[in-house]
């Protein structure tokens, strides 16, 4: 784990925690959150949602995981809070793609 980084002006600075919710805020389903500290990423849950009545032909709805794809070498692991589909349904997708 990185303990310090260098700022643009060359001075050392301590890393900070970034919390990036990819889904699950103000909605039911797609519960996926990224915790980023320095160069390390930990995922909390990998959820999906079920389509609404107007989403014909759609089987599941996933959060946008393009940030994870771009930073996949930095992912260190995943914490699963519990086994409901809206929290674990995307794990197979993550394992295939990251």
Question: What are the structural domain ranges in the chain?
Answer: 18-97
Q: What is the pLDDT of residue 98?
A: 84
pLDDT at residue 1 tops 60: no
88 membership: H or E segment, kind and range: helix 85-88
pLDDT top residue among 39 and 3: 39
The mean pLDDT value for 31-54 works out to 95
Q: How far apart are CA 13 and CA 33, in angstroms?
A: 25
The pLDDT confidence band at residue 63, using thresholds 50, 70 and 90, is: very high
pLDDT of 2 above 60: no
Determine the average pLDDT of the residues in 63-78. Answer: 95
- How much is the average pLDDT of 53-80? 94
- 61 DSSP β-pair partners: 49
Of 88, 78, 83, 95, give the one whose Cα is nearest residue 47.
88
Token digits of residue 98: 């990251």
In the prediction, which pLDDT does 5 show?
61
pLDDT at 4: 59
Average pLDDT over residues 30-51: 95
Residue 36 to residues 28, 33, 41, 61, 78, Cα–Cα distance (Å): 24, 10, 5, 24, 12
What sign for the dihedral angle of Cα 30, 51, 68, 66? negative
Q: Note whether 42 and 19 are within 8 A (CB).
A: no
């Amino acid at each position: 784990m990185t303990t310090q980084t260098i700022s643009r002006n060359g001075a050392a600075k301590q890393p900070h925690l970034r919390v990036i919710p990819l889904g699950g805020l103000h909605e039911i389903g797609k519960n996926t959150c990224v915790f980023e500290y320095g160069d390390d990423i930990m995922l909390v849950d990998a959820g999906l949602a079920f389509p609404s009545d107007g989403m014909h032909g759609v089987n599941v709805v996933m959060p946008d995981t393009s940030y994870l794809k771009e930073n996949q070498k930095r992912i260190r692991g995943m914490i699963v809070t519990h086994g409901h589909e809206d929290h674990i349904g995307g794990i197979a997708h993550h394992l295939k793609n990251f």
